[in-house]
Amino acid sequence: MITVKDVVKIELSRQKQIELKEHLAGNNDRPALNGGYLYVYKGDKLLHIASIPSPNLLGDNYRHSVVENDEYFSDDNGNEFRIDILSSNVGVDWILSSYPDDENTVKSIRYKVKQNEF
């Protein structure tokens, strides 16, 4: 049986996920035709540079144009991360699929996209 206490926990968890979303995922609406790099920062410090693959330009639709890159990295405190990058004919999406439980660490994460020139 679900209690009021359980409902409050679920709602707080949902609010926390919404609050952390901008630090856990993002996108760029410009296709990375020649690939590029996703710079991952923790605060003002560069934490990792992940490779953005070129999409499959011969794909007939979104599903067939998607190329994925997964990278693992850690910070100076030993926190481990995994980022999944999807490059397609409609742009670049990324999600931090593995990250530490420390909310302050997650909130300090930000991103910058640099696409390769033609």
pLDDT of residue 4: 53
Tell me the residue type at 3. Answer: T
Task: Give which of 98, 33, 105 is closest to 65, Cα–Cα.
Answer: 33
What local confidence, expressed as pLDDT, does residue 115 receive? 94
Which sequence spans correspond to the domains of the chain? 4-115
Strands 67-74 and 80-88: antiparallel
Place of tokens 């609050």: 19
Predicted pLDDT of residue 111: 96
Of 88, 110, 108, which is closest to residue 35 (Cα–Cα)?
Answer: 88
Strand partners, 75: none
pLDDT digits (tens), the chain, 118 positions: 555 555 445 454 656 666 777 888 999 999 999 999 999 999 999 999 999 999 998 988 888 999 999 999 999 999 999 999 999 999 999 999 999 988 899 999 999 999 998 6
- The values of phi and psi at residue 74, to 5°, are -140, 160
Side chain identity at residue 58, one-letter code: L
Q: Which of 41, 23, 16 minimizes the C-alpha distance to 94?
A: 23
